[in-house]
Structure 1
Amino acid sequence: METRETSDGPEGPQGLICASFNQDTTSLSVGTKAGYRLFSVTSVEKMDCIHEGAECPDVYIVERLFSSSLVVVVSLSMPRRMNVYHFKKGTEICNYSYSNNILSVRLNRQRLVVCLEESVYIHNIKDMKLLKTLLNTPSNPTGLCALSVNHGNSYLAYPGSATVGEIIVYDANNLSTMTMIPAHDSPLAALTFNASGTKLASASERGTVIRVFTIPEGQRLFEFRRGMKRYVSISSLSFSADAQFLCASSNTETVHIFKLEVHSPSREEESPTWSAYVGKMFSAASTYLPTQVSDMMHQDRAFATVRLNMFGLKNVCALATVQKLPRLLVASSDGHLYIYNVDPQDGGECVLVRKHRLFETGEEPVEPEEEAESEEGLPQPPNQSYAATVALSSTPPSSSALTGYSEDGGAQKGDVIPEHEFAEAPVCLDDENEFPPVSNQSN
């Protein structure tokens, strides 16, 4: 899923300014002082640089549309202008200028959304025409918004208030407001949809509670507590592709992974335990206790965690299936992509299996003592995670799987779809052989 992080300035390695994963977490885009880079993240062992663009410097927004050749770029030198490029051809498809600085851009197969501090612009992605302008939206200084990526819907979520955590859910296909969700008491800090657009996760500026709601109804499904010791700034939220897990990263050294599971009451009936009995007592008590107290009783802790070897650096996280196994990807403003194995059965501490540089060639192998440490600070034996165990016991991956994603084949790969093809069938961009649904027109 698409997530973005932006550093506070060009102090990172070689001027790393921003990073974002594309909609299906198959590639990573980074903005730098020199331009932008697109990487494949479909292999653990190798991370190919798909493209390096130098059309404009100081890129602070770069978003790729799935595995197509369409990429949207915004530069610090011209923060009010959005440039849409066909990077395989090295041509500009179009550009748009806005009344104020562009704070974020979101893409799916139907819509392109541009968020300013007090307005939102919705474009039709096949021809880039402006369909709707939402003016005088509540002050949104970080450009916080989320766009669902499922082919059948285009739900847009953005803050409905500058003082409390209200979420407006807008239908960007039918251009109508769907619902308002009173999600948090304090202003919003993070939003993300699951892949099908049926769930929305949110966090507030306090960063202690993460909630998941049904879409489009807006009913609360889950509530997870990240911690109570301190307020933190949550920088990214991301669902796994099957929406069974949700990860959250912040300015602390810990990434939390929560499991979205509903505990069946029938199991408790079959094998009653003391904890189940106490749980039932709490549930009964919650019907007459104050809301804040009863909410606390229904919050779950993290299913799995990652301890980063950094503190205070901005990062963006995503859950992905890489080479058929569940992984957590963390792109950090220290100039690296970290890949962790995730145990989907038992959770616990995730194991670091690869560390890639975003600016130099090659990867940094993980030494055994770097993979994991116990609470006492002692190294854990390598290859003890669920994913590593499965990988060792299964058939070795083919050479094509190890080399990862490539866009070298096919003379027509990356071409723009001709206008007359739009009426024949919906555009699908599920794999790298598909083309961006835009007409080659400039504004």
Structure 2
Amino acid sequence: MQSLGTTVSVVGGGVGVVTEGVKAGIAGLMSLAAQGSALPTEGGGVFSITFNQDYSSLGVGTRIGYRLYSLSTLDKLELICDNGNEDTCIVERLFSSSLVAVVSLSSPRKLKVCHFKKNSEICNYSYPNTILGVKLNRARLVVCLEESLYIHNIRDMKVLHTIRDTPPNPTGLCALSISNENCFLAYPGSNSIGQVQIFDAQNLQAKIMIPAHDSPLAAISFNASGTKIATASERGTVIRVFSVGEGARLHELRRGMKRCATIFSLAFSPDSLFLCASSNTETVHVFRLEEIKETRPPVVEEQQGLMGWMTKAVSASASYLPTPVADMMSQGRAFATVTLPFQGVRNVCAIATIQKQTRVLVASMDGYLYVYSLNTSEGGDCTLIKQHRLDGHEGAHHRGVRWGLHRHLWTLPWGSQEDRTRGGQDERDGGSV
């Protein structure tokens, strides 16, 4: 790759110490990368899969480089970039531009900003610790380390602000809104409870802290306008949607009654009418975010005798229900569901409008993209309409033939032992989420 830019070292605070968990993850990946036989070859040894900001393309990082696919049509998956320079554990594209941010497994502390159409490197930055996440919008580029976040001006890549001493965030969980008007950054405000810290990345000041869950956060996602944020905790039973401006809870959505899960991804539809959630189970839940309206209970004509007394007794007792029980009764259920042909494999979901049709997209770490129809009027079960391989070869393998591949992927460092066992485990929900 031709280099056109500069190399910058971001030190500010000295060299950090990689925690044992992160160190084991990177070391594990490097070991797998060195052992071709230990990596699944069907997906090209997939290390990361990400949709761009408007779900118009898909980036795949592998042990032999990265690939970018256009999602403008689903008849055929169009490969628009196949860069085979080095093992890639993070690849993020800026909308439909030629700019991509890349982190390699061999240099996990270095960020490269590249022009993929010219096959050139614009600049690179080195950080004091392992890069765990990178987020982009049209104004900002954010780099997430375990205990700090760096906010760059995307026009010249200058560091505008550094958020230091954040709670330990070994998974690099963060979200950056794509709105020009509401340029907000979200990250965990605690590693023991589910606090969401919202930071104004445009004006470089803290905005609000939202107490979202009792358990630590597992997933967060902004809607397209940056006015709402969806959250899920490590328990994985309840998903909540909050107003970014006031921190008010707008929706509470339950993905399951008896089964805890590890939520992998949350994504709003472009119009914010739907929210999808994928996990380590075989089900992707799609929720319809109804407009909140104040409703009054219907006036029931008073009945006489025993039935009248029972009606009054039931109505009165309902007001004494514990708050967790009352909350559970008011939680929204899934409007539609996707049943995946696998479970336990890391994946990312999205709701996109492709060729004027609303589709649910699920890209999995085994190197496949699944496309499902979504009936926006009736909901129900979503139908698989297309399946694409992400190694440039369409086709021929049935999911059942590839089950052994999933057992390999379960052992990759992104998933803890808890991730690998929760898929088939029933747990009591309880009131705290």
Instruction: Tell me if 1:73 matches 2:73.
Output: no
1:316 counterpart residue number: 348
Q: 1:231 aligns with which of 239, 260, 267?
A: 260
CA distance in 2 between partners of 1:292 and 1:242 (Å): 31
2:50 counterpart residue number: 20
> Does 1 or 2 have the higher relative contact order (CA < 8 Å, sep 6+)?
1
CA distance in 1 between partners of 2:226 and 2:316 (Å): 33
2:404 counterpart residue number: none
Give matches, 1:232-247, under 5 Å: 232-247=261-276
TM-score by length of 2: 0.77
CA distance in 1 between partners of 2:317 and 2:325 (Å): 10
Alignment length, in residue pairs? 355
Amino acid at match of 1:304: A
Deviations 1:100-132 (A, max 9, x none): 000000000100000000000000000000000
Instruction: Tell me if 1:195 matches 2:227.
Output: no
Amino acid at match of 2:143: V
Amino acid at match of 2:259: R
CA distance in 2 between partners of 1:107 and 1:173 (Å): 13
CA distance in 2 between partners of 1:46 and 1:147 (Å): 30
Amino acid at match of 1:97: S
Is this contact kept in 2: 1:183–1:211, CA < 8 A?
yes
Q: 1:29 aligns with which of 39, 59, 65?
A: 59
**Offset at residue 228 of structure 1 (A):** 2.8
CA distance in 2 between partners of 1:303 and 1:216 (Å): 27
Deviations 1:401-423 (A, max 9, x none): xxxxxxxxxxxxxxxxxxxxxxx
Deviations 1:333-353 (A, max 9, x none): 121100000000110000000
Instruction: Tell me if 1:171 matches 2:200.
Output: yes
Instruction: Tell me if 1:336 matches 2:352.
Output: no
**Offset at residue 282 of structure 1 (A):** 9.3
**Offset at residue 292 of structure 1 (A):** 1.5
Let me know the Cα RMSD of the aligned residues.
2.6
Amino acid at match of 1:156: L
Give matches, 1:129-148, under 5 Å: 129-148=158-177
TM-score by length of 1: 0.76
Q: Percent identity?
A: 58
1:381 counterpart residue number: none
CA distance in 2 between partners of 1:234 and 1:281 (Å): 40
Instruction: Tell me if 1:361 matches 2:390.
Output: no
Structure 1 residue ranges (4+ consecutive) displaced by more than 4 angstroms after TM superposition: 6-10, 263-272, 280-288, 363-367
Amino acid at match of 2:73: S
Change (3 A) 1:14 1:288: same
Residue aligned with 2:324, SS? helix
CA distance in 2 between partners of 1:112 and 1:286 (Å): 50
Deviations 1:169-228 (A, max 9, x none): 000000111110000000000000000001000000111110000012111000001113
Change (3 A) 1:54 1:288: same
1:90 counterpart residue number: 119
1:250 counterpart residue number: 279
**Offset at residue 53 of structure 1 (A):** 1.3
CA distance in 2 between partners of 1:184 and 1:328 (Å): 27
5+ residue gaps, structure 2:
1-24, 33-38, 302-311, 400-433
2:81 counterpart residue number: 51
CA distance in 1 between partners of 2:256 and 2:341 (Å): 19
Change (3 A) 1:68 1:294: same
**Offset at residue 291 of structure 1 (A):** 2.5
Deviations 1:380-414 (A, max 9, x none): xxxxxxxxxxxxxxxxxxxxxxxxxxxxxxxxxxx
CA distance in 2 between partners of 1:184 and 1:266 (Å): 26
Residue aligned with 2:44, SS? helix
Give matches, 1:255-274, under 5 Å: 255-262=284-291, 264=293
Change (3 A) 1:283 1:76: farther
Residue aligned with 1:293, SS? helix
Is this contact kept in 2: 1:354–1:364, CA < 8 A?
no
Residue aligned with 1:61, SS? strand
Change (3 A) 1:137 1:360: same
